[in-house]
A and B are shown apart, each in its own frame.
Chain A
Amino acid sequence: MSQNVVVIGGGPAGIEASRRLRDLGYTPILIEKTPVLGGHLARWDRLFPEGIEARTVLDPMVADLDGIKYFTETEVSSINRLKDTWVVKLSNGLSAQVRAILLTTGFDLFKAEKKEEYGYGIYERVITNADLEDWFKSGAAPQFDAVNVIGFVHCVGSRDEKAGNRQCSKVCCVTAVKQACEIKEKFPDATVYCFYMDLRMFGRKYEDLYLKAQKDYGIRFVRGRVSEVSEDNDGHLFVKAEDTLFGKPLKIKMDLLVLMAGMAPAADNHQLARMVNIQTGEDGFYLPQSIIGSPCTSSREGIFFAGAATGPKTLPETLSEAASAALAIDRYLKTPQKK
């Protein structure tokens, strides 16, 4: 009988790692607390930089789960060390005794309502990047009468010590540019602004997307962080920022404002970390042995990581880390047990 490996978190990292482990001859037990596999990817419409549909990546993965035991709407109740194994008890009453556990718990989308000055949850015309993806995916038309001026606010809950998230979330810059182009396609006559602090177009073809946004879509980029948003009697928004390149404060009336909520550490990281006695960094993400040399290995024997559980990552980075985690687990399990 093949050896079991517990994988906690059924997003792209968990699914991909499970498939790789299965291909290596193991039987992964994949645990997902929500009713569906796929994590954040399952609610996303299109992916940067080329705009391919998210489902073209996710669907083939979810269709290829033979040999993987997976449980949705299931949480981990407890994890205990027994000799050189881990005993994992699940909320569905089942338990597994394994030598290796892979944590693929991903990230939580930063709660944009925490940035009260932007008015998410207060003003109707303030939405988040995830809301916009829902809208694109469902095709449901917006409720607003006229959408002529649209703004995107970068770094909402990123690079923000006061909001408890010091890190750059990495993917929002290029997501904002992608979404700005998409919304320009839906409202060709609208004027679209992006408010950024820095534009971090680090990946292949990202800079090309930015260039296309400037040249072909006429997206207007304003360097400056939005300081506050207010509403007039008709529900339109007033957005204040400094145009830092111009050196002057700026005020624009807008019909729609999209907040680029960043990546926050998953809320249950601390609980799982306590169960297996590992550390999270002060930023709340798990600490691997080495961010550079061994990003998938924890300080405890038999505990491994993949994906955004150890910090913001793009989808391809997550998928390749899932593959390396599977290899790290394979190497660990093939190492003779200490007597």
Chain B
Amino acid sequence: MIDFGYGLTPSSTLKIENVANPAFEELRQREPDVAKCIACGSCTASCSAGVFTEMSLRRVILSLQRGREKETLPMLQHCMLCGKCLLVCPRGINTRHLILSIGKVYKMEEDR
């Protein structure tokens, strides 16, 4: 087949029509405070790893809420669990513990 240089581009639209998100619900059971995130970005701003990598806890939480957990692993693997985000979170979320729980719920340990 001749390659004309054209192709179909997959839609980038977020489809959250199938709204059930059991993995996030499980995370919410384990870490109820994850629902308290107001996406202020303090965690990302203070993140030691985020300065050099794509790590952003705000973005991780949002991706999980939207059922896009695959996008979170490349971010989370840079986390050094320093806990600076925990100090700045205005909603008092135990972010360090949350990251560990995400690893457990989404079975990420073996990948780390």
Contacts and interface: CB of A to CB of B under 8 A. Distances in A.
Contact of A243 (B14, B19, B91): B14
A243 B32 CA distance: 23
A251 B17 contact: yes
23 contacts: A148-B19, A214-B35, A214-B36, A214-B37, A215-B32, A215-B33, A215-B35, A215-B36, A218-B35, A220-B65, A223-B39, A243-B14, A246-B62, A246-B63, A248-B12, A249-B13, A250-B13, A250-B15, A251-B13, A251-B14, A252-B16, A252-B19, A253-B17
Contacts of B33: 215
Interface residues of B, number: 20
A211 interface: yes
Contacts of A251: 13-15, 17
B66 to A, nearest CB: 6
Interface residues of A, number: 18
B93 to A, nearest CB: 11
Interface in B7-60: 12-17, 19, 28, 32-33, 35-37, 39, 58
Given A246-B62, A249-B14, A149 B19 contact: yes
Contacts, number: 44
Contacts of A94: none
A248 B12 CA distance: 7
Most buried by A among B17, B35, B39: B35
B14 A250 contact: yes
A106 B31 CA distance: 45
Interface of A: 148-149, 191, 211, 214-215, 218, 220, 223, 243, 245-246, 248-253
Contacts of B17: 251-253
B26 to A, nearest CB: 13
